Amino acid sequence: MIFLVEETLKRIQSHKGVIGTMVVNAEGIPIRTTLDNSTTVQYAGLLHQLTMKARSTVRDIDPQNDLTFLRIRSKKHEIMVAPDKEYLLIVIQNPCE
């Protein structure tokens, strides 16, 4: 099982345009990351708050709804956040133009 996890993460990282992948837990501790520590910590802290806010927004509008995925498209790249109860999977991709 652990092997599958490894393979999944490796596969994600190897996709075209992916700059970095990281897994962060609910306390903001980066479990797995392919970027350097300071960047990871920054992303972890900021995106965690944003995900919480997005989730609460979705649920405020419709309490039976829930956040499944968050995509932030910026000028330079796209940040994709897949939230879970305890963990966050964050991928930064440069979409091909």
Q: Which is nearer to other proteins, 8 or 57 (CB)?
A: 8
Sign of CA dihedral 37, 42, 92, 67: positive
Asked if 15 interacts with other proteins (CB under 8 A), we say yes
Asked if 62 interacts with other proteins (CB under 8 A), we say no
Min separation Cβ 21 and other proteins, Å = 8
Residue for token pair 């994709």: 80
Question: Exactly one of 16, 63, 64, 76 binds other proteins (CB under 8 A); which one?
Answer: 16
Q: Which is nearer to other proteins, 1 or 61 (CB)?
A: 1
Q: Are 91 and 12 in contact (CB under 8 A)?
A: yes
Asked if 95 interacts with other proteins (CB under 8 A), we say yes
Q: Please count the CA atoms within 13 angstroms of the CA of 64 that sit on its side-chain side.
A: 0
How many C-beta neighbours within 10 Å does residue 48 have?
19
Asked if 5 interacts with other proteins (CB under 8 A), we say yes
